[in-house]
Structure 1
């Protein structure tokens, strides 16, 4: 928590009050925005003090494009942060600048000309066949029918954690030879995901149980309400521990589906199933992993 001048702290507190009262931003996101802004204000005031410049206390009016460009360079070259970390800080400042404009505290946006650092997207974790088998064996040995259906469904549909937790019984339609799940994904975007015979097989017993159509498909065993994303993460981590798999998350199950499908289906169809807005995201599943690339260069080794 770097120290700020009274003026800098006042600017930070004004933004904090706005974030907490006028937006629906989550508490974690608010905390990140404020942390990024505090770090920037502290850096700016330190720069001014060290250089004996006229400006020694931060105010919204002191936010300029050259200052932001210098800060980007500081994060990238002095602190040597990753492009993702630098960009997070810049995006937070862009949000702050947009708020200042909306409040009439700035006449133009000084952050607009400041570009983000290009990122090289890394291929997501690739769950190997043996790892998937170990996970499924762990769920079969230690899990309930609900948990077995949950893990299997994620592996065969690529659902996001929030999407699978939000499923209701009425969102699933099963037929003799086909099935579909209705999902509202990111930005409330609707899509339908086809269910293969494996997914239909684990869902049918759940739907055969008595229950209201509006009831959650995967209720919490403690409360009966919909399973939370945190609860889902706990379940995946529990069975991963039984299977002796490290750092496995619900999103890794989505990635497993993506890799499996990318080897069998056109990318535009996979993008439709997974709810990707851009094929660039879907392309990650045909991008070589570190192990793939290592195997390729080993082919020309002299030993």
Structure 2
């Protein structure tokens, strides 16, 4: 492993310029910016690690121009040795590619050390979904969700994720004023701060109205404008949403994965199975390109195979 002692001030200066670039010029989400910062901090820590016994340190690096392909390759090997998944390793390599591309564009380095780095192969996995009919039956039941504020809030969380296909971060960012009851639409702020309008069905509109009335009657001290709040009125947080979704999906599914994203996958798969076209699903999900949406066609193909095997005498 190559051992470097990067000049802290120089490193911080270039990293800060890059973070400002992706935050304000590229308008990446706070979550994405935080992930980039974490990846780059880990890489710099690796470069400054004391190393293994018997390895002779190289001369100190005082400029990013001195970081080589071998440094990046060695970090990749260490990440693999740490049993990180191929997807996680690729994400960290993508961060480095973005960072060094920025440095190259700014004229800070003369050669991009990530140009020869190849991504790890990722085994193809079908999106995990739950049975849409079972989920709909649970949401229609009067016995599953309590009639009080917390019960109706939990129902709204599940209904919103399944009924709109929005991401967890998008759900947490919705404000009361983002709901247009007259038009039957909802405004969400997606990745890279891109706004999109999502239609909401009649049942969800009724549930939203009931929830907002219950929320108002709670007389919370902080009177948060955020739509989903805790039982004490504070803004909801990711762990709370995960807990809610896991709790209620346990009623209809025995699979290990019972996360908010499962409901997003179920939303998209249900639309596709019922005749919606890919471009419409793409717009509803807020995908940047169609290739991200096409993964749901695999679920439909598997469903067709299953139907064929059950129904055809020659299957």
1:182 to 2:184 alignment: no
**Structure 2 stretches of 5 or more lacking a match?**
24-29, 217-222
The answer for the alignment partner of 1:64 in structure 2 is 68
Given the alignment, which residue of 218, 222, 227 partners 2:228? 218
Question: Is 1:172–2:162 an aligned residue pair?
Answer: no
| Cα separation, partners in 2 of 1:242 and 1:128, compared to 1, 3 Å | closer
SS in 1 for 2:236: coil
> Which of 147, 153, 161 is the equivalent residue of 2:160?
153
**Corresponding position of 1:230:** 239
Q: From the superposition, tell whether residues 68 and 288 of structure 1 become closer, same or farther in structure 2 (CA, over 3 Å).
A: farther
2:208 corresponds to which of 203, 210, 225:
203
Q: In structure 1, what is the equivalent of residue 27 of structure 2?
A: none
Q: Which residue of 2 aligns with 1:256?
A: 266
Report the CA distance shift for 1:233/1:76 in structure 2 as closer, same or farther (over 3 A).
Answer: closer
The answer (yes or no) to whether the contact 1:149–1:202 under 8 Å persists in 2 is yes
In the superposition, the TM-score normalised over structure 2's length comes to 0.70
Structure 1's 206 and 288: CA in aligned 2 closer, same or farther, altered over 3 A?
closer
Aligned length: 289
SS in 2 for 1:287: helix
Mapping 1:290-301, distance limit 5 Å: 295=306
8 Å contact from structure 1 (residues 161, 229) kept in 2: yes
How large is the Cα RMSD of the aligned pairs?
4.5
CA distance in structure 1 between the partners assigned to 2:137 and 2:189 by the alignment: 31
Q: Secondary structure at the match of 2:169?
A: helix
**Taking structure 1 as the reference length, what is the TM-score of the superposition?**
0.72
Distance 1:16 1:84, change over 3 A: farther
Alpha-carbon distance in 2 for matches of 1:269, 1:76: 38
CA distance in 2, matches of 1:80, 1:260: 35
Q: Map 1:106-145; keep pairs closer than 5 Å.
A: 106-117=109-120, 119=122, 121-129=124-132, 132=135, 136=139, 139-140=144-145, 144-145=151-152
Deviation, 1:64, is 3.2
* Inter-partner Cα distance in structure 2 for 1:134 and 1:298: 27
Q: Which moved more, 1:276-285 or 1:106-115?
A: 106-115
- Distance in 1 of aligned mates of 2:65 and 2:241: 45
**5 Å matches for 1:30-41?**
30-39=37-46
> What does 1:252-291 align with in structure 2 at a 5 Å threshold?
252-264=262-274, 265-288=276-299
In 2, the alpha carbon distance for the partners of 1:273 and 1:257 equals 10
